[in-house]
Amino acid sequence: MFSFGQLIFGLCFFIIFVGAIIYSYKADKKNQPQYFKGSYKILIGFLIAFSVLLLIKYLTTK
C-alpha cells in the first residue's frame, strides 16, 4: 500500500506535528487558561469516536 519511505515520512511527520500541537497547546494554556477548562473531554470524545470508527472498519472487513 505505501512504500517504506512513505511510511517513514508519515511517521516523522506525525511525531513532529503532534509535538508542535502539544507545544502550542501548553503555551496557549499558560496565557489563556479560561479557554482550556474541560478540554480533556474533547480529547476523550475524539479518541472514543476514532476507536468506534476503527472497530466498525474491523468488523465490516471480515
Length of the chain: 62
Measured in degrees and rounded to the nearest 5, phi and psi for residue 37 equal: -70, 125
Residue 30 buriedness (CB in 10 A; 0-12 / 13-18 / 19+): exposed
| Domain parsing of the chain, residue ranges | 34-62
Residue 57 in grid coordinates: 472498519
- pLDDT for res 40: 84
- pLDDT for res 54: 92
Q: What's the average model confidence in pLDDT over 36-40? A: 82
Q: Which residue has the higher pLDDT, 21 or 35?
A: 21
Per-residue pLDDT tens digits for 14-31: 999 999 999 998 888 888
- Distance between CA atoms of residues 18 and 13, nearest Å: 8
**pLDDT confidence of 12, banded at 50, 70, 90?**
very high
